[in-house]
Copies of this chain bind each other. A is one copy, B any other.
Amino acid sequence: MDLLNVSNFIKDYEDHCSKVQRKHFKKNETITTYIAKRNQVCILVSGEADLIRYDYNGNKTIVEHFNKYDIFGEVFYIITTNNELFVRAKQDCDVIFLVYDSLKHKCKSNCKFHQSLNENLSELILQKVTTLNSRIELLTKHSTRDKLIGYFSILSTRNLSKSFKLPFSLTDLADYLSVDRSAMMRELKSLRDEGFIEKNGNVVTLLYK
């Protein structure tokens, strides 16, 4: 599906349908907290945001990183008491809030946008599955080095370039890859020393192959 289409759908949907909210968030604000049974689906219309989890030890994990038109929300989660999950704006963001159950049933005004969004939603969810699978692939790598290389090659592929900007600070990158920051820094240094990568600020360039 074309991203522009999503945008148009959202615009139309918003105009015709109740149960849809659009909100603006400033940098660092909390967009939503994952609370069970809300059935919440969110679409990021502009900006960037992270889904963050703190577990019972206080360990922070960046579970996902969201860009324009990514969907997120508590419907996708089994909420347990051991975790606190919330989405934080990394820049100013616009977000559409929907209720999943209300999508499945027709709305009162029987609007055609309802059906359209419904169809598109399954496409968006499918995209989410592929994203999550890539994430799992990263996390199952056995070493910090393999995680770094794996993540870099994802970014490289996505940017169609050997050079790309990291969407995270290094501190956050460690939380995303689920590794110790100091160990990651060490590995990053080795990768540079061994000539695998180049790094200037938050721009990384792959030198291999």
Interface residues of A (CB under 8 A from B): 53, 55, 59, 61, 63, 75-78, 83, 100, 104, 118-119, 121-122, 125-126, 128-130, 132-137, 139-142, 178
Contact = CB atoms under 8 A, between A and B. Distances in A.
Contact of A128 (B61, B121, B129): B129
A179 to B, nearest CB: 8
A77 B121 CA distance: 18
A77 B130 contact: yes
5 contacts: A76-B133, A118-B122, A128-B129, A129-B129, A136-B136
Please classify the interface of chain A as helix (H, G, I), strand (E, B), loop, or mixed, using the class held by over half of its residues.
helix
Contacts of A139: 136, 139-140, 178
This chain: how many copies in the complex?
Answer: 2
Nearest to A75: B126
A158 to B, nearest CB: 10
Contacts of A136: 63, 132, 135-136, 139
A88 B128 CA distance: 24
Nearest to A121: B122
A141 to B, nearest CB: 8
A76 B126 contact: yes
Closest 8 CB pairs of A and B: A122-B122, A139-B139, A132-B132, A140-B178, A76-B129, A61-B140, A125-B125, A78-B130
